Structure 1
Amino acid sequence: MVSDAIVVGSGVIGLTTAVVLAERGLRVEVWTRETAAQTTSAVAGGLWWPYRAEPAGAVAAWSLASLPILAGLARDPAETGVRLVDGVHAGASPDELGPWAAGVPGLRETAPHETPRGYDRAVRARLPLADMPAHLGYLQRRLGRAGGTVTLRAVTALGDAARAAPIVVNCAGLGAGRLAGDPDVHPVRGQLVVVENPGVHEWFTVTEDGTGDPAYLLPQPYGLVLGGTAHAHAWDRTPVPSLAQAIIARCARVHPGVTRARVLAHHVGLRPFRHRVRVEAERLPGGARLVHNYGHGGSGVTVSWGCALAAAELALGA
């Protein structure tokens, strides 16, 4: 064996986990059937915000462990792809958000004049917002500096990785369920539209805007990301024109200028959902330690460092 650990999957969860292990001195190799740019992580909105992930208590802990790390990365956005951006989450007060809200520095309820039109309450916060293609590139470079490598290699069975290293970490997103024989893993389809930014500088989100779908506007260096949808058990990655039009219309109720903005791209991502995020360890036949780190739903960026640290403790037998 030439590697101490094989991490399966090159999305934000896999790369962050690989970085943590490599920076602890392990020889780490990431095995992935697709490049980081082809993963769901690459088209994610990138805002730190616990969304569609359970159990609430564990997700809160992982999210709050990730928050200061991502905020630290925001000191060098050109390198890391992470910025700190002010914004508003509509339709909720702080005590309605969940157990994580009290741990977010500066998060507060909006004053009446700050509350978006059409909503009776909202919260403001300054949060990490990642340009995901840039952030994934940063994680790969950081992994390389720590001696880790990425290999394009489809994994059909976790036992294949176990024959190459004594530690295997299953971070394969939707594929993690198949590899683990876990039928509970399923996609929650998210569609978004990227438009030329008409002057939006703050992020906006609402979990439920009356249509059954979330709505969000996320200013990125490459354009304004508009979303979205949350359709469970939908596997089709083809953008639907009628959904794109509905997304633009919903976002225009918050910022009317988006109706005139030139459309730059359409994207679809399949969030890897499970009733509970799975971060746990077991032994494979032959003695290799297998750590599962999957099922993060729409909170992959948000819990990335917290889950990576927890997975590393399990991998090292702590």
Structure 2
Amino acid sequence: MIPSLTRRSFLGSSALGGAGLLTAGCTPARVASASTKPVCLPRVNVAPERVIRHLVGLRPYRASGFVVRAEQMGGTKLVHNYGHGGAGITLSWGSSKLAVDLGLPGHKGPVAVIGAGIMGLTTARLAQEAGHAVTIYADALPPDTTSNIAGGQWHPFGLFDKDAVTPEWRRQYLAAADYSWRRFQIMVGDDYGIHWLPTYTERTQPETPLFDTFPPENRILRADEHPFPVESAGRYITLYVETGRFLRQMLRDIQIAGGRIEVRKLGTGDIGGLPERLVFNCTGLGARDLVGDQELRPARGQLAVLLPQPEIGYAFAGRAGYMFPRPDGIMLGGTFELDNWSLTPDPATAERILKSHRQFFDAFRC
């Protein structure tokens, strides 16, 4: 069972770390007194009339971690790439690299990808870069995918239960994270909606490094170095992805490179009937029905999105929730509710998210 924890404490326990959604509603802790006036940052205006939409997404959570493995189905090789919890954006390029490295060697001819979320699009693009023709089969395309609802922070979250994973899986996870971290860096800019941002967290120790280069500029701040109404805060730098823009551009890239897209819902019995002899299963939570993976559980997340504030050039995560600023809106999270299949925004949850963030930003010490 996953306890109700802040994003950062959860990262250090059951997840080691898109971009997930927090349990909101806690009142910020009292801050220790500072001897000098704290550095100020612009406040987010959390006014109800600034809300532009409420979003709900179901993350594909597996206690034993995401799946990258191959199996033979008659004359078809099926490679699985699903189950990334709240780390789908973060691990997308790396997990898809593991999948194509498993499936492509020795294969000649076209390939199929099932699913058009972040895993499907990155898998398709890597297969194209390796010289293969690609057809994507999906019953939903961006912007109607779960990936479109992700907060977009590059930081693994809500991914696994630390007691349920193996050392072999951890090595796979770190390899995926390392490749993905480097791949996103070469895509930074407005074209794909990827930008660096300083990120502040409510914590007493620096972030636990995932590997040597992540996270950069990782340290605990003095009380006079931040305005937040918390006992202790940390700061590091990471990437943020404007998911709508990123997914649109990826879809264009695939089509420009000759990729075909067929809007079609596939069942298990349809896989062997596809003309492609190599198929990548990137269906996320849909793999529960497609291939019978009953370990997959929905982890429901809800967001409140505010009008953009261009002056907000930082992100924050703590007991109040998380705030990720993007050009398309300020993302306020949220929840991590296992086994809740509802896609309807809950008004009470929305109010808790807004209330906790409003209290937090109104209590700035400058």
Q: Provide TM-score, normalisation by structure 1.
A: 0.71
Residue 46 to residue 221, structure 1, CA distance change in 2 (3 Å): same
Query: Percent identity between the aligned chains?
Result: 27
Q: Which residue of 1 aligns with 2:82?
A: none
Between structures 1 and 2, the one with greater strand share:
1
Instruction: For 1:70 and 1:109, locate their aligned partners in 2 and report how far apart those are by CA, in whole Å.
Output: 23
Deviation at 1:147, TM superposition (A): 2.0
Q: Which residue of 2 aligns with 1:275?
A: none
Correspondence for 2:175 among 53, 57, 61: 61
Deviation at 1:251, TM superposition (A): 1.8
* Structure 1 position 117 matched with structure 2 position 231: no
* Structure 1 position 228 matched with structure 2 position 339: no
Q: Which moved more, 1:167-176 or 1:108-117?
A: 108-117
Deviation at 1:144, TM superposition (A): 1.7
The size of the alignment, in residue pairs, is: 248
Q: Which residue of 1 aligns with 2:154?
A: 48
Residue 104 to residue 42, structure 1, CA distance change in 2 (3 Å): same
Correspondence for 2:214 among 104, 112, 117: 104
For the aligned residues, what is the CA RMSD? 2.5
* Matching residue's letter, 2:326: Q
Correspondence for 2:199 among 87, 105, 108: 87
Residue 92 to residue 49, structure 1, CA distance change in 2 (3 Å): farther
Q: Secondary structure at the residue paired with 2:143? A: helix
Instruction: For 2:130 and 2:150, locate their aligned partners in 1 and report how far apart those are by CA, in whole Å.
Output: 28
**1:109-168 CA-partner distances (Å, limit 9, x unpaired):** 132133563434443222111111100011111112322122111011264355321111
Correspondence for 1:29 among 129, 135, 142: 135
Higher relative contact order (CA 8 A, sep 6+): 2
Residue 249 to residue 140, structure 1, CA distance change in 2 (3 Å): same
Residue 173 to residue 34, structure 1, CA distance change in 2 (3 Å): same
Correspondence for 2:247 among 117, 132, 136: 136
Does the Cα contact within 8 Å between 1:3 and 1:164 map onto a contact in 2? no
Residue 154 to residue 119, structure 1, CA distance change in 2 (3 Å): same
* Structure 1 position 146 matched with structure 2 position 257: yes
**1:89-122 CA-partner distances (Å, limit 9, x unpaired):** 2225235x3x515431523113213356343444
Correspondence for 1:164 among 275, 281, 301: 275
Instruction: For 1:181 and 1:15, locate their aligned partners in 2 and report how far apart those are by CA, in whole Å.
Output: 23
Between structures 1 and 2, the one with greater helix share:
1
Instruction: For 1:126 and 1:119, locate their aligned partners in 2 and report how far apart those are by CA, in whole Å.
Output: 20
**1:170-203 CA-partner distances (Å, limit 9, x unpaired):** 1101101211211000110000011124542211
Instruction: For 1:203 and 1:159, locate their aligned partners in 2 and report how far apart those are by CA, in whole Å.
Output: 44
Structure 1 gaps, min length 5: 258-318
* 1:250-261 pair list within 5 angstroms: 250-256=356-362
Q: Which runs of 4+ in 1 moved over 4 A?
A: none
Q: Which residue of 2 aligns with 1:8?
A: 114
Q: Which is greater in Rg?
A: 2
Instruction: For 1:116 and 1:10, locate their aligned partners in 2 and report how far apart those are by CA, in whole Å.
Output: 41
Q: Which residue of 1 aligns with 2:66?
A: none
Deviation at 1:51, TM superposition (A): 0.2
Deviation at 1:36, TM superposition (A): 1.8
Q: Secondary structure at the residue paired with 1:147? A: coil
Instruction: For 1:40 and 1:237, locate their aligned partners in 2 and report how far apart those are by CA, in whole Å.
Output: 11
* Structure 1 position 215 matched with structure 2 position 321: yes
Instruction: For 2:175 and 2:232, locate their aligned partners in 1 and report how far apart those are by CA, in whole Å.
Output: 26
Does the Cα contact within 8 Å between 2:135 and 2:262 map onto a contact in 1? yes
Q: Provide TM-score, normalisation by structure 2.
A: 0.62
Structure 2 gaps, min length 5: 1-75, 77-107
